[in-house]
């Protein structure tokens, strides 16, 4: 069976199958061993010095690269133990020979001092073990230098050579120097990890010294010495050859591992290549890793011909799909990995780090049991609803554009009536007869919306008009897409209340400012989604007030669902969680494609994203409206910057009214925050209307600010050039 399988695979060359699945041939093991290693064939050094450094660390250090490996410690122990034993033996032999008058005093002193000196010298490098980086850098040079000294001693220590040098014939005893050469050479290879170049250089120096000492000394010029020399020569040559072979194999093994690790790191770095921007959660990366594993399993399955193994591989793919969906629908990881695009401005990056990165929030899954009519099935009230006391016969005709005209101007309503939140709330409740669903009196709902509007301060940006504009934008997303066919009366009420109350009581300061200044709001909400928790709490505090509690007649189940939906929607507007929320939604919509609006948890996530997109909806409005809102938000930022200056604090990015480049800040905001969000939102809605009016206008606004940014930079450069020219003229005078 195995032979048939091998024949089958050998006869099938790698081709692309009908389904694009690659078929593989059996690779000869000898061919697999022939790695293309980028090393000098003579010196066995990697051409890349960085790879050489990695190779040395691989040999000497442990995985943490903070201390020597156990293998290195073992080899150091063997080397120093061997050298110490040889030196001690030579000292003992010298003492015995000197005691028996077979060794002259001068020879005895020479051997004694050399062996003690070599012992002391060999341990000089060991204290550097505490600093592995320095040890690894110098240990090869140290042991090569030590080897030259040791070999010179072994050559000169021969009695004939030593007698010639000190011109005496007294010593008859000859220490076994060649034995020392052999023993030392063996352990030297291990302590310098079979480094071919070092062994070659040291061996050539030793052999040259051996030949020179033998030829230069007539007393050493005899047959016995030549026999010993040739024994040493043959041993050293074999050592050099074996060292070259061993180091080459070591580098093959290292290079294979190095390439694998590098390709793995590259794949990890590029595993999010399908994500258009540079911000993504670990959840997305895990799901993409599952997809790649599944693809690999499919390729392996195409090669395997054993039915039982193939079935197990298919089962593994099914299990992997289950794991992938569990990752996508389960608790989302909070960590956001930032890999900014190359063209991202450093100040934009700092601004994002300060304002759009924080902790996450998740809710348990739950299915909805609500069966009311959907917005698509709503019937508008036939009786005309007139705001005659505002001096306009039919303000309703203006309000009828809510959710239909993308660039609906809430400022017109405010300038005409002096109100915004209360007007829109009353109008929508009357239009869709939502009071009947809640079983609430009109006076009760009217009073609630008036009190809700009164809760907003006179801020430049985070005011009642902003809340009303957000409601209109959210209704546009719903009414101009298939969402209108899925949202019930209770969902629409939650959308209206969450939009109109999502910024109530806003102090015109950021969460970061409140936390850093230990504000009582931050203390109350434990530094977590500070403002959003406050807005939710204030909204429900109003709803709990006697006389304006429009939810008092809801069933317990409906009240719990309503409260849960509103809170989650408001919490989704926390911009410090922007990338976590974006990554979570993108995972479900684009990667898993399993968002189901009939599931309560998924519906909350979708409505939360709708409110989040509406919250920054001004960035996609017609240029006049967008520029007006942009100036207002900048003014609010600048006021915070003024407070920070007064308190002697570092001014937050883009909050300094003197140094902030408004076109640059707005272009960065749209490019890095708004555009990725609207792209995935439009991808989910699949509404040509939303894409045409919102996404396309957003891109036009980005071009508008980018053009202003370039023009401003040109003007600055011209002014700088004129100033430099004027300075040169004044200097020349």
Annotated binding residues for Zn(2+), as ranges? 466, 502-503, 615
- Determine the Cα–Cα distance for residues 709 and 670; give it in Å rounded to an integer: 13
608 vs 363: CA distance, rounded Å: 12
- Spatial CA neighbour of 369 closest among 227, 199, 557: 557
Q: Which residue has the tokens 């591989």?
A: 313
**Tokens, residue 389:** 């006391």
Query: Any bridge partners for residue 488, and if so which?
Result: 374
Structure-token match 């980005």, residue found: 702
* Binding-site sequence positions: 462-466, 502-503, 615, 666
User: What phi and psi values does residue 671 have, to the nearest 5 degrees?
Assistant: -70, -45
Count, residues in the chain: 733
Assigned token pair, 648: 């002697």
Rounded Cα gap, residues 470 and 492, in angstroms: 14
Nearest alpha carbon to residue 411 among 156, 576, 629:
629
338 bridge partner residues:
279
Q: Which residues contact 402 (CB under 8 A, 6 or more apart)?
A: 408, 424, 427, 428, 471, 472, 475
Closest CA to 505 of 526, 520, 527: 520
Q: Which residues are catalytic?
A: 462
Torsion of CA 647, 651, 652, 654, to 10 degrees: 130
User: CA-to-CA distance for 694 and 477, rounded, in angstroms?
Assistant: 9
Cβ neighbours of 374 (radius 10 Å): 15
What is residue 327's three-state secondary structure? Answer: helix
Residue 375 and residue 644: Cα distance in Å, rounded? 46
As given in the structure block, the two tokens for residue 695 are 């996404």
Q: What is the DSSP letter of 524?
A: H
Binding residues for AMP: 462-466, 503, 615, 666
Q: What is the largest CA-CA distance in the chain?
A: 134
- Closest listed residue to residue 37, CA positions, set 49, 45, 27, 29: 45
Q: Which residues of 459-481 are buried (b: 16+ CB within 10 A; e: fewer)?
A: bbbbbbbbbbbbbbbbbbbbbbb
**Where are any strands of DSSP class E within 508-596?**
none
C-beta neighbour count of 216 within 10 angstroms: 12
Q: Which of 225, 200, 199, 190 shows the shortest CA–CA distance to 211? A: 225
> Nearest-CA neighbor of 181 among 315, 90, 71?
90
Number of Cβ within 10 Å of residue 264's Cβ equals 10
Q: At what angle do helices 410-417 and 421-431 cross, to 10 degrees?
A: 100
For residue 61, list its beta bridge partners: 68
Bridge partner residues of 68 (DSSP): 61
Q: Which residues contact 242 (CB under 8 A, 6 or more apart)?
A: none
Distance CA 634, CA 460 (A): 9
């Amino acid at each position: 069976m195995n032979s048939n399988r091998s024949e089958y695979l050998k006869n099938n060359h790698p081709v692309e199958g009908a389904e694009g699945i690659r078929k593989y041939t059996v690779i000869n093991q000898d061919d697999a061993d022939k790695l293309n290693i980028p090393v000098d064939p003579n010196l066995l050094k990697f051409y890349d010095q960085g790879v050489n450094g990695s190779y040395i660390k691989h040999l000497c250090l442990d995985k943490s690269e903070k201390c020597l490996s156990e293998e290195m410690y073992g080899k150091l122990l063997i080397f120093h133990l061997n050298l110490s034993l040889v030196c001690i033996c030579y000292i003992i032999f010298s003492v015995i020979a000197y005691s028996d008058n077979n060794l002259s005093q001068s020879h005895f002193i020479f051997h004694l001092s050399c062996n003690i000196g070599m012992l002391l010298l060999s341990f000089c490098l060991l204290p550097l073990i505490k600093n592995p980086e320095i040890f690894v850098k110098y240990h090869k040079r140290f042991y090569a230098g030590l080897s030259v000294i040791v070999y010179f001693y072994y050559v000169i220590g021969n009695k004939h050579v030593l007698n010639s040098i000190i011109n005496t014939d007294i010593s008859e005893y000859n220490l076994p120097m060649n034995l020392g050469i052999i023993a030392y050479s063996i352990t030297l290879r291990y302590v310098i990890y079979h480094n071919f170049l070092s062994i070659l250089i040291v061996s050539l120096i030793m052999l040259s010294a051996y030949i020179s000492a033998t030829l230069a000394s007539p007393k050493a010029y005899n047959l016995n010495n030549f026999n010993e020399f040739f024994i040493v020569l043959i041993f050293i040559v074999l050592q050099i050859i074996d060292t070259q072979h061993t180091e080459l194999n070591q580098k093959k093994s290292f290079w294979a591992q190095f390439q694998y690790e590098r390709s793995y790191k590259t794949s990890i770095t590029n595993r999010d290549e399908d994500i258009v921007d540079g911000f993504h959660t670990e959840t997305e990366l895990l799901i993409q890793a599952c997809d790649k594993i599944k693809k690999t399993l499919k390729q392996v399955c195409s090669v395997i011909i054993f039915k039982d193994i193939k079935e197990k591989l298919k089962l593994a793919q099914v299990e992997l799909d289950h794991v992938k969906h569990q990752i996508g629908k389960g608790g989302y990881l909070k960590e956001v990995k930032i890999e900014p695009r190359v063209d991202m401005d450093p100040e934009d990056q700092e601004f994002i780090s300060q304002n759009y990165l924080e902790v996450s929030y998740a809710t348990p899954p739950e299915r909805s049991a609500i069966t009311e009519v959907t917005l698509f099935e709503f019937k508008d009230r036939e009786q005309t609803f007139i705001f005659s006391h505002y001096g306009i016969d039919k303000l309703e005709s203006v309000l009828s554009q809510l959710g239909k005209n993308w660039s609906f101007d809430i400022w017109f309503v405010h300038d005409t009536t002096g109100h915004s939140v209360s007007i829109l709330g009353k109008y929508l409740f009357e239009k869709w007869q939502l009071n009947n669903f809640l079983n609430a009196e009109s006076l009760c709902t009217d009073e609630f919306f008036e009190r809700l509007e009164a809760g907003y301060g006179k801020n430049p940006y985070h005011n009642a008009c902003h809340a009303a504009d957000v409601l209109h934008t959210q209704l546009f997303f719903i009414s101009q897409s298939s969402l209108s066919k899925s949202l019930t009366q209770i969902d629409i009420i939650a959308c209206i209340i969450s939009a109109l109350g999502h910024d109530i009581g806003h102090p015109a300061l950021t969460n970061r400012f409140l936390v850093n200044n230990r504000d009582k709001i931050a203390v109350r909400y434990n530094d977590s989604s500070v403002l959003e928790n406050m807005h939710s709490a204030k909204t429900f505090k109003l709803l709990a007030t006697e006389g304006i509690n429009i939810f008092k007649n809801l069933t317990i189940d409906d009240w719990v669902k309503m409260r849960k939906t509103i809170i989650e929607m408001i919490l989704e507007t926390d911009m410090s969680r922007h990338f976590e929320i974006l990554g979570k939604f993108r995972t479900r919509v684009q990667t898993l494609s399993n968002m189901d609006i009939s599931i309560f948890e998924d519906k909350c996530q979708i409505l939360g994203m709708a409110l989040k997109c509406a919250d920054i909806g001004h960035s996609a409005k017609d240029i006049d409206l967008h520029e007006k809102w942009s100036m207002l938000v900048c003014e609010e930022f600048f006021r915070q910057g003024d407070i920070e200056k007064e308190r002697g604090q570092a001014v937050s990015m883009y909050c300094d009214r003197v140094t902030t480049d408004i076109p640059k800040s707005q272009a960065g905001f749209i490019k890095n925050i708004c555009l990725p969000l609207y792209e995935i939102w439009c991808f989910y809605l699949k509404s040509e209307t939303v894409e045409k009016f919102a996404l396309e206008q957003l891109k036009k606004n980005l071009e508008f600010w980018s053009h202003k940014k370039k023009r401003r930079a040109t003007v600055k450069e011209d002014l700088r050039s004129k100033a430099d020219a004027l300075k040169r003229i004044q200097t020349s005078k």
